[in-house]
Structures are given as C-alpha cells and as structure tokens.
Amino acid sequence: MVIGVCTLTLHIFAAQSLKEKRQVVKSILARVRNEFNVSIAEVGGQDTWQRAELGIACVSTDQGYAHGQLEAVVRFIERIRPDAPIGGYEIEML
C-alpha cells in the first residue's frame, strides 16, 4: 500500500476577508472531491485572508499512479482557479 500526500499553498489575492477566502477554498475542495478519488482539506493558513494551505491524500497499490493522481489534482486546481495561483507544492510518498 502506498500513500501519496501533497501539500500546496494557494495565494488568493482577490480575497478581502476570511469569508471571501472561504468561498474560494470551499469551491476548490468540492470540485476536487467530485473529480478525483482523493481526500482534501485546508490544513493551514485558516486565519489569513489571502493564503491557504491544502493537504491532499491518495491511497493506491502503485506509487506511480498515486503520484500521477496528485499531479493531476494540482493541474486541475491551476486550471479551474487561475485567480488563485499555486505558490508551491510538494508531493511525498509514504
């Protein structure tokens, strides 16, 4: 069993309040859950307006598949929310 974990940071420049940031983050979380078979949650930066840290996890029997799935999630987020660019991300296999 392979567990793939991805942490990524989003910069939400248009957010002027925590409420606006939450709208963007909740939209991303819902769309990723609907599109991919992964777990995703906001894991950091909950009190900052323009930055969010997301954690994504994938379980598989194949390391290549898990890595590819997480890379696909990152590309999906970049495509659906160009107004919230990804500042950086890291993928780790456990």
Domain spanning 2-93 has what CATH number?
A: 3.30.70.1120
Give the CA count within 13 Å in the CB-facing half-sphere of 46: 5
Output the tens digit of pLDDT for each of the chain's 94 residues: 999 999 999 999 888 899 999 999 999 999 999 999 899 999 988 888 899 999 999 999 999 999 999 999 999 999 999 888 999 999 999 9
DSSP letters, 25-91, are HHHHHHHHHHHSS-EEEEEE-TT-SSEEEEEEEEEES-HHHHHHHHHHHHHHHHHH-TTS-EEEEEE
Beta-bridge partners for 40 = 56
pTM exceeding the 0.85 threshold for the entire prediction: yes
Could you state, in order of their start, the residue ranges of all structural domains in the chain? 2-93
